[in-house]
Amino acid sequence: MSRADLISLLPHLILALGAVLVMMVIAVRRNHFVIYVLTCLTLIIALYFLPETASLPHEVGVLFVVDGLGVFSTMLIMLAALAVTIMSYAYFETHEERTGEYYMLFILATFGASIMVISGHFVSFFLGLEILSVSLYGMIAYLRKRERSDEAGIKYLILAAFSSAFLLFGMALIYASTGDMTFQGLSGYFAAFDELPILVTAGLGMVVVGAGFKLSVVPFHMWTPDVYEGAPAPVAAFISTVSKGATMILLVRFFLAIDGFRFPVVLTIFTVISIASMVVGNILALRQQNVKRILAYSSIAHFGYLLVAFIAADDLGVEAVNFYLVAYFATMLGAFGVVTVLSDPERDAEQLDDYRGLLWRRPGLAAVFVVTLLSLAGIPLTAGFVAKFYILASGIGTNQWLLVILLVVNSVVGLFYYIRIVAVMFDSVREGEIRQTAYVGNFATLLILVLLLVWFGISPQGLIDVIRGLVNGS
Amino acid sequence: MTLIAFIGTLMAGGIVAWITARWSETLSRWIALTTVLIDLVWSVVILINNRPDFSATDWLIRFDYPWIGRFGIGISVAADGLSLILLILTFFLGAASVIVSWREIRQRVGFFHFNLLWVLAGIAGVFVVMDLFLFYFFWEVMLIPMYFLIGIWGHENRRYAAMKFFIFTQASGLMMLLSILGLYFIHGNNTGTYTFDYFELLTATFGDTAGRWLMLGFLAAFIVKLPVVPFHSWLPDAHSQAPTAGSVILAGLLLKTGAYGILRFVLPLFPDAAREFSNVAMILGVVGIIYGALLAYGQTDLKRLVAYTSVSHMGFVMLGIFSFNELAFQGVVMQLVAHGLSTGALFVIAGALYERIHTRDLSLMGGFWSGTPFMGFITLVFVMASLGLPGLVNFVAEFLILNGAWQTSHVLAVIGAIGLVLAMAYSLRIMRKIFFGPVADIGVGMRDLTLCEKVVLVPMTLLVIFLGLFPQHVFNASEKSVKDILAMVNSNNKP
């Protein structure tokens, strides 16, 4: 391993080191605050050592490709992880006595996700995915005393194991027909195909099943609402952002490498998945009374939208995917941040009733929630709008009118349930105690997230320049 | 820059009003009022400075500044006579809505004024922006605060009404966004210049089919806002459930953005498709006139009744716009002003009645004239305006529109004129039900108009009479814009 290799992988190594360190600290003394600070420091130091753009792209062996896309998404993942860590502290301080292991699993999960986004090989792809999944099993079921916690954990465990098996089988099939597992090598083979051999099609299909499970796109979405409902709110935030985002970036990398959308069958598969996710996600969200489940279905729909830009697969499309992910991350973290703050030791604030009159009881928090909901709905002045605009632009730019029109129709359906939450919040004040578990860190995070949402909504050019520089610049 | 300052003042004023309400609600009200008045005076000064010759320059004020370079989006604003008239109307009715809320709105005063001023900012933005992306942006900016205005301070069924309003306008707005993007890419692919700039896109060329679809996207947003039957069903609910200020802004201003959009964007950008569509549009307009008037006659809820008269009056706008001649266009501009004033005033009166007797049900009212002669008199003026009495501004507008429509289609003009007869019926019914007949119990001991209400209604009355007698002032200001638009309609955009 050369010096240059080391430098490019340094952030990831720091994460791995951080996980080990946390484990050792737990062995010596369980102190929630120390472990929390250690986790934050790990993430901050890792962020600090993200490679300079000047030395990109850099390939480390055959396993990793550290390029602009990789660095950008690693940064995104780590920032999101930092936000989730800060949320988690207040949450676990009141919920659970044994808190140390959570942070270890958390760093490992982040590590897995950040490995995924720089992988250029099936092996690193799979390892990253598994590190992420295995850590998540523990995190989802972390609050053992809760009724739904085990159910969510087991459900995720079984389905994730299944989907991993699919993924492996798919990789094996592709390997069997091409004899290569690097994305670069595969791109050569795929370029030679006029149409896909049946074995490769089957292999790709299985890879899509495996990745689709992680993205929770329809029809691989069954677990999502239950897991979101059962998992602690910060973990749900982590699943909906980091885990899904990393998988999306990986898919972008893989399908761009093999130029997958040249083949009608791949195009059809993703078009169908995209439409199904938008429609099913939005329609199922309509009748929910549980905010966490609404957010789950909403995230399903949002990945349907995101696939529109993914299918475009040109420069604009990749930009759109990245911009959308930034907006989506900030939005989801904000939304779950509010849920976290309002949760108490018995249960999370997940019923719509918990939010009744919030605008008058807690104007600040309600304002944050309103902004995130408007951003999810894609209303101007928020990042969500520019992101949706980006996706529409990439869709229309590649003439996918069917998808674009369905996207618009679905946005309207989506409005119903976002606005319903807003309406509940400005209902007349309900008597009763204000429940909350929050520290300064929570509010600072929420404030920053909201400012970002509004800032990217009003003046997105800065972010666009960064994305263009990193993603398409090379 | 002046135009940006108009919008900026309103937005800033809204935030300040919100914050100061913590300490003093009265201060918050005064801040909101001052903000709107500053804009009003300022815009009137601009109008006076440019009198009497508005045709010297293409645009009275223009300002361009790049915003999101990646997509060729700029902060591009401009105003001509048409924009200026509508801006003044916006600020005038804006000030009126702040004043009528003085006693009506007692809860969450700061947030109320924030929403009020931001709706006005959005509307003012719509009337001046010359960048299609920015246009959509402001189109949406006026939506959310309006949703809150209806949803928080509205009447008993506010939640449903607010949601319906939001979904209708948002859905149709997204159609427009698709068209805007389609236009952007078609023009970009043809010329290599990817931009949302209005002036650049005026030169866009495309085939017939593409033009038709793009125009329908734009039109979707505008005819829902206007509204044109059968896309009007959000309007009676939203108007009747909104607080007085909300109704005034909805009827007086929000509907005007639809008409303005058609004049400024649909006709110049898609002249071919618009000409093709004109017959259908005129028929829809006439259907709106008759249908709105018939339904207005059947209402028992005063605010709903006035809401349906809006549908009828906006039918005239649709009829006039698609007649494609100068006479009708001038009538349309006049109708926008006239309807803003008269319907706005009727909603203020409906609000005043509601505050006194806590019902909008016409069958419970009657014989109020003896107790409240001043209110009765003012109502009479606006009811007469609404039915198109010569000497008042609505008559000028509707007369010109029918005159213009006659040149295009005799049949439709005749049917449209029947609408005037129906207007007589529903307008007189308002007077009879509220102010004449046996005295209803709930009206005993009712106060006449308060100072606040007089401050709003008297200037409106004077304006309605003044513009009815001297309509030329408005025509002078809008003549140049109207001629320009007409010239663009008669061009074409074949490749």
3-state SS track over A256-324 = HHCCHHHCHHHHHHHHHHHHHHHHHHHHHHHCCCEHHHHHHHHHHHHHHHHHHHHHHCCHHHHHHHHHH
- Which residue type does B187 have? H
List Cβ<8 Å contacts ≥24 apart for B289-296. B289/B315, B289/B316, B289/B319, B289/B415, B289/B416, B289/B419, B290/B315, B290/B415, B290/B418, B290/B419, B290/B422, B291/B229, B291/B315, B292/B229, B292/B232, B293/B419, B293/B422, B293/B423, B293/B425, B293/B426, B294/B422, B296/B426
Say how far apart CA B246 and CA B260 lie, in whole Å.
Answer: 20
Which residues from B are below 8 Å from A459, CB to CB? 67-68
Say how far apart CA B148 and CA B151 lie, in whole Å.
Answer: 5
Nearest CA to B245 out of B397, B33, B34 is that of B33
Q: What is the CA radius of gyration of chain B?
A: 22
Say how far apart CA A246 and CA B108 lie, in whole Å.
Answer: 43
Say how far apart CA B71 and CA B407 lie, in whole Å.
Answer: 43
Instruction: Give the pLDDT of residue A144.
Output: 82
Instruction: Give the pLDDT of residue A428.
Output: 73
Give A318's contacts (C-beta < 8 A, 6+ positions apart): A69, A252, A256, A309, A471, A472
Backbone dihedral region of B129: left (phi > 0), alpha (psi from -120 to 50 degrees) or beta? beta
User: What b-and-e string marks burial along B430-468, b requiring 16 or more CB atoms within 10 Å of the CB?
Assistant: bbebbbeeeebebbeeeeebeebbbebbebbbebbeebb
For residues A29-35, average pLDDT: 89
Q: How large is the angle between the packed helices A68-95 and A100-117, nearest 10 degrees?
A: 160
Q: Report the SS3 class of residue B73.
A: strand
Run of H or E including A355 = none
Per-position pLDDT tens, chain B of length 495? 788 999 999 999 999 999 998 889 899 999 999 999 999 999 999 888 887 677 666 788 888 888 888 888 989 999 888 999 999 999 999 999 999 999 888 888 989 999 999 999 999 999 999 999 999 999 988 888 999 999 889 988 888 999 899 989 988 999 999 999 999 989 988 898 889 999 989 888 888 899 999 999 999 999 999 899 889 999 999 999 999 999 999 999 999 999 999 999 999 999 999 999 999 999 999 999 999 999 999 999 999 999 999 999 999 999 999 999 999 999 999 999 999 999 999 999 999 999 888 889 998 888 888 888 999 999 999 999 998 899 899 999 999 999 999 999 999 999 999 999 999 999 999 999 899 888 888 877 788 888 889 999 999 999 999 999 999 988 988 888 899 899 888 877 655
Which residues from B are below 8 Å from A398, CB to CB? none
Of A62-66, A276-280, B53-57, B128-132, give the lowest mean pLDDT range.
Answer: B53-57
Count CB neighbours of B35 within 10 A: 26
How confident is the prediction for chain A on average, in pLDDT?
90
Q: Nearest by CB to B159, from A415, A423, A468: name it.
A: A423
**pLDDT-derived band of residue A96, with 50, 70 and 90 as boundaries?**
low
Instruction: Give the pLDDT of residue A469.
Output: 84
Nearest CA in chain A to B158: A423
Interface test with B, best of A392, A421, A454, A468 (most B CBs within 10 A): A392
**pLDDT-derived band of residue A201, with 50, 70 and 90 as boundaries?**
very high
Give B10's contacts (C-beta < 8 A, 6+ positions apart): B35, B36, B39, B117, B118, B120, B121, B124
For residues A383-404, average pLDDT: 92
Of A169-178, A229-238, B204-213, B285-294, give the lowest mean pLDDT range.
Answer: B204-213
Instruction: Give the pLDDT of residue B495.
Output: 53
Q: Which residue has better confidence, A260 or B414?
A: B414
Percent of chain A clearing pLDDT 90 (strictly above): 62
**B147 in A contact zone (CB under 8 Å):** yes
Interface test with B, best of A422, A428, A459 (most B CBs within 10 A): A422
pLDDT at A286 over 50: yes
Map tokens 């509307």 to a residue.
B123
Say how far apart CA A119 and CA A186 lie, in whole Å.
Answer: 14
Handedness of CA B220, B226, B231, B237 (dihedral sign): positive
Q: Which pair of structure tokens corresponds to residue B84?
A: 């200026």
**pLDDT-derived band of residue A314, with 50, 70 and 90 as boundaries?**
confident
pLDDT tens, position by position, A416-426: 899 889 888 88
CA dihedral B369, B375, B381, B386 (to 10 degrees): -90
**pLDDT-derived band of residue A351, with 50, 70 and 90 as boundaries?**
confident
Say how far apart CA B66 and CA B266 lie, in whole Å.
Answer: 24
pTM over 0.95: no
Instruction: Give the pLDDT of residue B52.
Output: 65
Nearest CA to A340 out of A88, A145, A14 is that of A88
**A424 in B contact zone (CB under 8 Å):** no
Instruction: Give the pLDDT of residue B41.
Output: 94
Which residues from B are below 8 Å from A420, CB to CB? 163
Instruction: Give the pLDDT of residue A473.
Output: 55
Say how far apart CA A276 and CA A268 lie, in whole Å.
Answer: 12
For residues A287-293, average pLDDT: 91
Nearest CA to A432 out of A335, A374, A349, A371 is that of A349
CA of A260 vs chain B CAs: smallest distance (Å): 25
Q: Report the SS3 class of residue A59.
A: strand
pLDDT at A182 over 90: yes
The β-bridge partners of B337 are none
Instruction: Give the pLDDT of residue A474.
Output: 43
pLDDT at A349 over 90: no
Q: Which pair of structure tokens corresponds to residue B425?
A: 């019926």
pLDDT tens, position by position, A430-470: 655 555 556 788 889 999 999 999 999 988 999 999 898 88
Question: Do A366 and A358 touch, CB atoms closer than 8 A?
Answer: yes
Interface test with B, best of A322, A390, A400, A408 (most B CBs within 10 A): A408
Range list of β-strands (E), B229-365: none
CA A241 to chain centre: 2
Annotated domain spans of chain B: 2-489
CA of B123 vs chain A CAs: smallest distance (Å): 15
For residues A333-359, average pLDDT: 86
Q: Which pair of structure tokens corresponds to residue B273?
A: 């498709």
Residue B438 DSSP code: S
Give A278's contacts (C-beta < 8 A, 6+ positions apart): A301, A304, A305, A406, A407, A410
CA of A85 vs chain B CAs: smallest distance (Å): 33
Run of H or E including A56 = none
Residue B107 DSSP code: S
Question: Do B318 and B391 touch, CB atoms closer than 8 A?
Answer: no
Nearest CA in chain A to B152: A426
Nearest CA to B349 out of B396, B305, B394 is that of B305
**A249 in B contact zone (CB under 8 Å):** no
Instruction: Give the pLDDT of residue A435.
Output: 58
Can you give the length of chain A in residues? Answer: 474
ipTM score assigned to the predicted complex = 0.84
Q: Nearest by CB to A393, from B137, B141, B181: name it.
A: B181
